[in-house]
A and B are shown apart, each in its own frame.
Chain A
Amino acid sequence: MVTSPKLAEFESSQLRTGQPVFRVGDTVRVHYKIVEGDKERVQVFQGVVIKRHRAGARSTFTVRKISFNIGVERIFLMHSPRIEKLEVVSRGVVRRARLFYLRDLQGKAARVRDQKDA
């Protein structure tokens, strides 16, 4: 899709800088601000990045984790001001851009090889 230069200029004003570089397969900790009524707290979501949608200001990434034996996936907006902090826990070695195969795997098989071990 051809984005109009005027639209691209507006979107570039929405970009957020200073986020760490991470790739699909990396394990990340997302400190996410949650507003409940008038209270605000920070929730940490740690898991493997299984998808990155690169679309400028509209970019997102999907994090998957196993919580009490149930797979949980969350899509975060890359440039959201609600992301308080983003940490890369470990770098993974993967061969594809979308790790949807992890959904079908369980336990030991559903791991991503760490770059340190490779």
Chain B
Amino acid sequence: MNTQPGIYGRKLGMSQFFTDDGTVHRVSVVEAGPVTVVAKRTIEKDGYTALVLGLGERKAKHTSKPLAGYFKKQGQTPKRVLKELRCQPEFASKYEVGQVMKLDEIFQLGQRVDARGTTRGRGFTGVIRRWSFAGAVTTHGTHEYKRHGGSIGTNMTPGRTLPNLKMPGHYGDETVSILNIRVARIDVEKHLLMLEGGLPGARNGLVLIRQSVKKTKPRTHVAPTKKKLK
């Protein structure tokens, strides 16, 4: 199980910024916070370690009575998003209930992180969009057969359509992780986390940012060799 330190946030959109030497960084901006620790799960009590995180404020009129009772018990104001984050005991011990998580405590500049989000739902989609099929030829007598997927199998052997064949269907609204993206900038006060490149999902979509699970190989720089002209 992924127990890397992380935080929940909302994708604000994409932007760019310049560094002092003039390099442009194209970034996705995530508003990760203020995220409050609402409760803690411990091995002794719950059998696993996790932090219960709350993101954004929820209005009292939008809070059901059982939920309001839970927040009252924890001594917190109702939160819009309530999520559990499985983590290592060392990470959980750094936080107390009611504490607001600070981005620079979790991430460092230039660090590789993983982002998990839900892609935009596209509804029932044909094979051209969903699986990048080429479609059929539109000339040479083709009639009412343009964006179809073509044949779905043979006749007698095996006499059935094989499983997992690419066909039209529901596309999008899936959980997608993007691994090893670089942290380009951290704004602790405004709770902004800037990650290089794109993130799954629409604007205001919920994303989970965690320290990367896979180790990146240290890049060994190979100097370009000049070929001698004969």
Contact = CB atoms under 8 A, between A and B. Distances in A.
Interface residues of B, number: 16
Contacts of B17: 10, 14, 57
A39 to B, nearest CB: 13
B20 interface: yes
Contacts of B18: 14, 77, 79-81
B21 interface: yes
B42 to A, nearest CB: 35
A14 B31 CA distance: 18
Interface in A65-104: 77, 79-82
Interface stretch (A1-9, A17-25, A45-53, A105-113): A1-9
* Interface size grouping (class) on chain A: 10 to 19
B63 interface: no
Interface stretch (B8-16, B85-93, B118-126, B211-219): B8-16
Given A33-B22, A81-B22, A82-B22, A7 B12 contact: yes
B31 A6 contact: yes
Contact of B12 (A4, A33, A35, A80): A4
Chain B interface SS verdict (over half): strand
Nearest to A33: B22
Contacts of A3: 13
A86 to B, nearest CB: 14
A35 B177 CA distance: 36
A10 B192 contact: yes
A7 B15 contact: yes
Interface string B25-63: 000010100000000000000000000000000000000
A7 B22 contact: no
Contacts of B12: 4, 6-7
A57 B16 contact: yes
A35 B17 CA distance: 19
11 contacts: A3-B13, A4-B203, A7-B12, A10-B29, A10-B192, A14-B16, A14-B17, A35-B22, A77-B24, A80-B22, A80-B24
